[in-house]
Amino acid sequence: MEPLEPHISELDVVEEASRESFPASDAPAWGSSHAAPMPEDVADAEHVRAVKRRRNRRLKQIAIAIGALAALVGLALTWRVYRAA
């Protein structure tokens, strides 16, 4: 009866290398529990607040513009109704 697995000397070179390097062939972990960002990659707290203030100011401007546009459309529709009557 033949053995299920051929003797190691009968295996091809690739399979032999694969078997010998099995524990080292595992991929490394993606993260490290000790990893920390570089100081130049961390945003300054004052800079973050300034960006938020600019964003909020811009959102307020957009809201006012939308409100003004809605008022103008309403005024135009009302004017059209009175003019037709």
Interval 5-46: pLDDT, tens: 555 555 577 777 777 766 655 666 666 666 677 777 788 889
Does 19 reside within a domain?
no
Q: Is residue 20 within 8 Å of 12, Cβ to Cβ?
A: no
Does 51 reside within a domain?
yes
Does 18 reside within a domain?
no
Q: What pLDDT score was predicted for residue 37? A: 75
Q: Which residues contact 19 (CB under 8 A, 6 or more apart)?
A: 8, 11
Does 62 reside within a domain?
yes
Look up tokens 């690739």; give the residue: 14
Q: What is the mean pLDDT of the chain?
A: 80
Range of the domain at 76: 44-85
Q: What pLDDT score was predicted for residue 2? A: 56
Does 85 reside within a domain?
yes
**Number of domains the chain contains:** 1
- Rounded to an integer, what distance in angstroms lies between the CA atom of residue 69 and that of residue 76? 11
Q: Is residue 8 within 8 Å of 16, Cβ to Cβ?
A: yes
Q: Which two tokens stand for residue 36?
A: 């920390």
